[in-house]
Structure 1
Amino acid sequence: MSQILTAQAAAMLQQYCSQLAKGYGIDPQSLKQQFSVVGPQETRLRQALLESADFLRMITLADVDQIKGQVVDVGIGSIHSGRKASGRFIKEVGVGGHNYELTETDSGALLSWATLAVWANAGNEGEFLRLVNEFINQTFALDMIRVGFNGTSAAANTNPTKNPLGQDVNKGWQQLVSEWNGGSQIIGSAQDKVYFDPAGKGDYNTLDAMASDLINSTIDPAFRNDPRLTVMVGADLVAAAQGRLYQQADKPTEQIAAQQLATSVAGRKAITPPFFPGKRMVVTIPSNLHLYTQRGTRQRSAAHNQDRKGFESQYWRMEGYAVGEYRAYASFDESGVEIKPDPAKEKTEEQTG
């Protein structure tokens, strides 16, 4: 594939840059330098990211003023109705009792000249602009989700080769919960295994049983009956459970049940979010997962990079993750989940058999 920016692609890319600059209210030449995204443009950028990944619309995205502060309370599980003899009853929504901390986050996406040439040939100018916009926004949005589920630390110098899921970009939700109250909301570890075996020789043989155990033993009683509780389940667990059901399914109703397994578990809505670890299960209210950006810190730039033969778009900000209410979050951690029979049970059966 040719690594030349065709005249057609160059013209369309210039039009894209002009529209991008107009949207941010700056001169097109200023795109090459890092510029601040403030005021209404911050809202537009956040909305563009939300529209690029459905899962981001389910969680709580908020702008905050400080790098460190108290988690924003969005009223998860709290009652907002009652009465007061001396006046009106009202439940204030403010800040919670635990803290968040933001860290420098720098995202960069490169579109090769070859890709731009193909897009320019594939459609009209409007289609080209849409493809460029969607690629850049979706790349940034998916990274936000990727780090949220897999981040364990915030390294001074990140290494994407060793940490392809952004493990060293920031502390994500699972890591934050594991550090709270001695990890009381997390079940399973490398030293404490849980066995999932649809054939019935493990600790659990259905996803329903796993999720029910999380809800009844780990989720705080105040949140157990919340209709918003959602089961987030890894693709490996779903595949193992579905595989067993399909093997046994000799009726249409059983086949339908297998197909619905990925959307309903233990009577709750079930989803498999992007970049969610394959053997992890989480029960929580999606809006209980928070992602904060410090207001006024968003910086953008977009320009040709002759050395890399591509068009670069960069997005810098102070960003971090938080959990609104730890007690409304419960999880089987993938490090402690094995999809196979429990060796101890197999050994016992052999001895008794």
Structure 2
Amino acid sequence: MSMILTQAAETQLNKYFQALATGYGIDVSRIKDKFSVTGPQETRLRTALLESVDFLRMITLADVDQIKGQVIDVGIGGIHSGRKANGRFLQAVGVDGHNYELTETDSGAVLPWSTLAVWANAGNEGEFLQKVNEFINRSFALDMLRVGFNGISIAATTDPVTNPLGQDVNKGWQQLAKEWNGGSQIVGDAGSKVYFEPDGKNGEYNTLDAMASDLINSTMDPAFRNDPRLTVLVGADLVAAAQGRLYSQADKPTEQIAAQQLATSIAGRRAMTPPFFPGKRMVVTMPGNLHLYTQRGTRQRSAAQNQDRKGFESQYWRMEGYAVGDYRAYAAFDEDHVVIGPGPDPAA
């Protein structure tokens, strides 16, 4: 049976096109072509993306005027209080010589006609519009994090098959940290390994608390070590390994509670596993220290039925890039250096 767009779905989709055009202040005939998103519409689009993925609300999203420029200070830095004899104490903000660079980013999402048909028959017009909006916004928002955590390079033509996590779309936060100051904020040299062994045999670390504490006390700049905003971002593989050991001691209620809380508190700091965060990576920083910039006035949208793809296609083009607010407040174990399991037997 060939896939067709049902009459009910087509009716609802046409209403979506009209609603989209009204929202952006353009004629509906222009929806299928690229149209610029400016002024208040830029704010509404950014708000919609923020609302679709919780972690995006925690990082720093900002519009900038230039493709290249100095990283925006958002108050991550050190002390701003003190005294000055015969004058006023004043501490400058900003990170000298710490720059960002944006690159062309094109997002496209396709909703199959079969899905639209189900949505059109499953609820009223408002529910259909909401489902379409949520799908599109969430797809674009998740890609921002996917690239932010996994981006390594910037290819002229990206390959989503070889790089399904957007490794070639842009340089993400971890890659930028690797390139700053000789990778001083990343634990481990090329070829070296860090062993996480919850069973306590030959592992360098037996707990996630120990890993996070080491990052804070050995790699993090002293000015930030006691900052209450510090958060432990931890990969799902590390959490699963640590929880497995605790759950294996099920006869101890304290261990059960510890296992349940492990994903939310590590080394006395708030902990979380963001979407698409590598499974064996650990980062300690303030979420607001992770920056994502878009050049103001470059956002372009389009939406149309695509007969060849047999679906509804929505696209979002802009100049975009990542930055770390202050590298001194960023410390990490890179997944390439982490091994879950016992290390070499020292007696061997």
2:3 corresponds to 1:3 = yes
Deviations 1:209-243 (A, max 9, x none): 00000000000000000000000000000000000
Indicate conservation of the 8 Å contact 2:108/2:313, yes or no.
Answer: yes
Residue 254 of structure 1 deviates from its aligned partner by 1.8
Indicate conservation of the 8 Å contact 1:2/1:114, yes or no.
Answer: no
Residue equivalent to 1:255: 256
2:36 corresponds to 1:52 = no
**Counterpart mapping for 1:157-236 below 5 A:** 157-188=157-188, 191-200=191-200, 201-236=202-237
Indicate conservation of the 8 Å contact 1:72/1:96, yes or no.
Answer: no
User: What is the TM-score with the length of structure 1 in the denominator?
Assistant: 0.95
Indicate conservation of the 8 Å contact 2:78/2:224, yes or no.
Answer: no
Residue equivalent to 2:307: 306
* Structure 1 stretch displaced more, 75-84 or 6-15: 75-84
Indicate conservation of the 8 Å contact 1:96/1:324, yes or no.
Answer: no
Amino acid at match of 1:37: V
Residue equivalent to 2:283: 282
Amino acid at match of 1:42: E
Deviations 1:112-143 (A, max 9, x none): 11110011111111111110000000000000
**Counterpart mapping for 1:82-231 below 5 A:** 82-83=82-83, 89=89, 91=91, 93=93, 96-188=96-188, 191-200=191-200, 201-231=202-232
Deviations 1:159-196 (A, max 9, x none): 00000000000000000000011111101355100000
Residue 89 of structure 1 deviates from its aligned partner by 4.9
Indicate conservation of the 8 Å contact 1:188/1:335, yes or no.
Answer: no
Indicate conservation of the 8 Å contact 2:203/2:342, yes or no.
Answer: yes
Residue equivalent to 2:28: 28
Q: Tell me, in whole angstroms, the C-alpha distance in 2 between the residues paired with 1:323 and 1:125.
A: 42
Residue 301 of structure 1 deviates from its aligned partner by 0.3
User: What is the TM-score with the length of structure 2 in the denominator?
Assistant: 0.96
Structure 1 unaligned spans of 5+: none
Q: Tell me, in whole angstroms, the C-alpha distance in 2 between the residues paired with 1:159 and 1:190.
A: 26
Q: Summarize the Cα distance change of 1:94–1:341 in structure 2 as closer, same or farther, 3 Å threshold.
A: closer
Residue equivalent to 1:336: 337
Residue 97 of structure 1 deviates from its aligned partner by 2.9
Give the total of aligned pairs.
347
Q: Summarize the Cα distance change of 1:28–1:88 in structure 2 as closer, same or farther, 3 Å threshold.
A: farther
Indicate conservation of the 8 Å contact 2:52/2:138, yes or no.
Answer: yes
Residue 344 of structure 1 deviates from its aligned partner by 3.2
* SS of corresponding position for 1:334: coil
Residue equivalent to 2:247: 246
Indicate conservation of the 8 Å contact 1:245/1:258, yes or no.
Answer: yes
Residue equivalent to 2:79: 79
Indicate conservation of the 8 Å contact 2:77/2:93, yes or no.
Answer: no
Deviations 1:50-90 (A, max 9, x none): 00111110000000011011111112032233455666655
* Structure 1 stretch displaced more, 233-242 or 88-97: 88-97
* SS of corresponding position for 2:331: strand
Indicate conservation of the 8 Å contact 1:196/1:203, yes or no.
Answer: yes
* SS of corresponding position for 1:245: helix
Q: Tell me, in whole angstroms, the C-alpha distance in 1 between the residues paired with 2:77 and 2:249.
A: 39
Q: Tell me, in whole angstroms, the C-alpha distance in 2 between the residues paired with 1:161 and 1:189.
A: 29
Q: Tell me, in whole angstroms, the C-alpha distance in 2 between the residues paired with 1:198 and 1:189.
A: 23
* SS of corresponding position for 1:48: helix
Indicate conservation of the 8 Å contact 1:230/1:268, yes or no.
Answer: yes
Q: Tell me, in whole angstroms, the C-alpha distance in 2 between the residues paired with 1:255 and 1:237.
A: 17
Amino acid at match of 1:279: K
Moved over 4 A (4+): 83-96
* SS of corresponding position for 1:118: helix
Amino acid at match of 1:79: I
Q: Summarize the Cα distance change of 1:26–1:249 in structure 2 as closer, same or farther, 3 Å threshold.
A: same
Indicate conservation of the 8 Å contact 2:95/2:326, yes or no.
Answer: no
RMSD between aligned alpha carbons? 1.5
Indicate conservation of the 8 Å contact 2:108/2:314, yes or no.
Answer: yes
Amino acid at match of 2:214: D
Residue equivalent to 2:41: 41
* Structure 1 stretch displaced more, 250-259 or 75-84: 75-84
* SS of corresponding position for 1:145: helix
Amino acid at match of 2:4: I
Amino acid at match of 1:312: E
- Percent sequence identity is 79
Q: Tell me, in whole angstroms, the C-alpha distance in 2 between the residues paired with 1:31 and 1:16.
A: 11
